[in-house]
Amino acid sequence: MSKEENIRKGFLSGKMAGFTPEPPEEVWTSINGQLNGGRKSRGLIFFIAVAAGLALALTVGIALLSDGPIEDIAERSVISDNADVVGEAQHIEEESMQADPSAGGKSLDRKTEKPAGPERIRRSSLKEKVIVAMEEEISGNQESGTFFAGQMEDLNPAQSEDTVRSMVSEHEVLSRQEEDSLLNLLIPDEPEEILQEEKTRSGKWQVGASLSPQYSYRDVASSNAARNLDANSSESGKLTYAGGIQVNYKPTGRLSIESGLFYNRMGVNIEEYSNFSDGRMFAAMEVVGEGAGNVISISNSMGTVVAEDKSLFVNNYSAKDAVADYHLLTPRALSYNNSAVDGFSQTFEFIEIPLSLKYTIIDRAFKLQLIGGMSTNLLMNNVLSASTSTGTEQVGEFIDLRTFNYSGNAGIGFIYDFAKNFSLSVEPRFRYYLNSINVSDLPPTRPYTFGLQTGVNYTF
């Protein structure tokens, strides 16, 4: 039979069967009250008892004060305490005398009824109490207690079972089964066993899938306040999403490392497109290339947009063919066929590979984690779309964006283990690009997102 089996099917249940302390009488009063339609009222009873006690103490106190000086009260109190201790000691001694002689007053399974009366709580430390209890446990054989204590002091895994077995069997305190179980309890496991148990702990690896609705925008770091204001007044954040698979490895109890592969869609909206025609470099439209009207580009806070097919199309209308004066391009092009553009939308699609650390603050069925790390973001695609009354169409793309971008990530994770190996995670996360998304002379622009990453994970 293995050690574990010995413990499980062993001695403790028999020992505990003899543990029958008396509960306070108020428990029954509360049960009775609850059964008769009342609520749990033990607290109230306790409160009333305390109040009654205080009232009694106050009454006695007043009576004592009226009888004599304060010194007398202190003296009486000390005498009373001493009397109580003496009485207690006598009571213990009497009980010890009354114990079954054949068991030496230390039978493991004896059932001693607690004497009626109020409980007197000793105010010594726990250790003292347990020491006293254990000394008494082997009382009548002081030699054995000393021997046991001496052996226990230096107990370590290297000690053989035989040593401890002889300690307990020599004094015939325990049955063989109890002896085995006590040995199992007292002798620490071999390191290999502990390691094996650690290996069997669940939760080393975790895989999952998640989806994150998110708010996406950018931070412009221009020293030109007018440009910032201009860009910020004409652009706004955009609701996008991200999703993918994540892998977690937990090297220790509370720390885990996360990586994975995510699709991340970001971008901004441009409502005030009239700014494109104001001629300014920032948030402006300009004509570049061999000649006016041949190549049309738009620069805004995110980068420089080149129209598809070297022309800006709106409502299937090639802007470059329409005008020679680029300053008039946008309003005329956008109002063509009475299909006015409501606004532009810039979208960037990234493949993200994160490397984050997660620290578990609360490790229960509900877990709370702190998350922090970095991501490599590979730009896969970008588009500029125009929204009109007839729909949305792609009108161009950026030409000066970085392919590799790096972002910092931080968040909080709320995890609920809803089944044995499955958990649900909701993680508010903030992602901020550490580099400017464009490589042009434009002011550095760093996209960021606030997302609510929601996923399901499998732990193994």
Span 202-261, contacts to other proteins by CB under 8 A:
202-203
Q: What is the SS3 assignment for 251? A: coil
- Residues 334-363: x/- map of binding to other proteins (CB under 8 A)? ----------------------------x-
DSSP structure class, residue 403: S
Among 72, 81, 95, 190, binds other proteins (CB under 8 A): 95
Task: Determine the residue type at 328.
Answer: L
**88 part of the interface to other proteins, by CB under 8 A:** yes
Among 67, 97, 114, 160, binds other proteins (CB under 8 A): 114
- Residues 31-50: x/- map of binding to other proteins (CB under 8 A)? xx-xx----x-x--------
For the record, the structure tokens of 258 come out as: 């996360």
Instruction: Identify the sign of the CA torsion 407, 412, 418, 419.
Output: positive
Among 49, 65, 82, 129, binds other proteins (CB under 8 A): 129
**24 part of the interface to other proteins, by CB under 8 A:** yes
Among 59, 112, 166, 390, binds other proteins (CB under 8 A): 112
Q: Which stretch binds other proteins (CB under 8 A): 20-28, 53-61, 74-82, 393-401?
A: 20-28
Strands (E), 289-433: 295-299, 304-307, 313-314, 317-318, 341-363, 366-388, 391-398, 404-417, 422-433
Question: Which residue is associated with the tokens 């329409």?
Answer: 322
Nearer to other proteins, 144 or 387 (CB): 144
**1 part of the interface to other proteins, by CB under 8 A:** no
Nearer to other proteins, 200 or 223 (CB): 200
Number of residues that bind other proteins (CB under 8 A): 80
Q: Closest separation between CB of residue 150 and other proteins, Å?
A: 6
Nearer to other proteins, 34 or 389 (CB): 34
Nearer to other proteins, 137 or 271 (CB): 137
Contact 207, 247 (CB under 8 A): yes
Q: Which stretch binds other proteins (CB under 8 A): 19-27, 216-224, 307-315, 404-412?
A: 19-27
Q: Which of residues 389-418 bind other proteins (CB under 8 A)?
A: 417
154-159 long-range contacts, CB within 8 A, separation 24+: 155/186, 155/187, 156/188, 157/187, 157/188, 157/189, 157/190, 157/191, 159/187
Contact 429, 212 (CB under 8 A): yes
For the record, the structure tokens of 392 come out as: 């949305």
Sequence-distant (6+) residues with CB within 8 A of 450 are 214, 215, 428, 429, 430
Nearer to other proteins, 72 or 84 (CB): 84
Q: Which of residues 155-174 bind other proteins (CB under 8 A)?
A: 155
> Which helix (DSSP H) or strand (DSSP E) does residue 153 occupy?
helix 142-153
> From residue 48, how far is each of 11, 60, 439 by CA, in Å?
42, 18, 77
For the record, the structure tokens of 435 come out as: 């580099």
**176 part of the interface to other proteins, by CB under 8 A:** no
Q: Which stretch binds other proteins (CB under 8 A): 2-10, 291-299, 327-335, 435-443?
A: 2-10
Among 49, 55, 92, 226, binds other proteins (CB under 8 A): 92
Phi, psi of 120, deg, nearest 5 = -110, 115
**370 part of the interface to other proteins, by CB under 8 A:** no
Q: What is the largest CA-CA distance in the chain?
A: 118
Q: What angle do CA 275, 302, 223 make, to 5 degrees?
A: 80
Nearer to other proteins, 22 or 72 (CB): 22
Nearer to other proteins, 27 or 281 (CB): 27
- Residues 263-302: x/- map of binding to other proteins (CB under 8 A)? ----------------------------------------
Q: Which stretch binds other proteins (CB under 8 A): 92-100, 207-215, 381-389, 436-444?
A: 92-100
Question: Which residue is associated with the tokens 């000066």?
Answer: 400
Q: Which of residues 131-150 bind other proteins (CB under 8 A)?
A: 131-137, 142, 145-146, 148-150
Nearer to other proteins, 8 or 76 (CB): 8
Total residue count of the chain as it appears in this document: 460
SS3 helix, strand, coil % of the chain, rounded to 5? Answer: 35, 35, 30
Nearer to other proteins, 51 or 380 (CB): 51
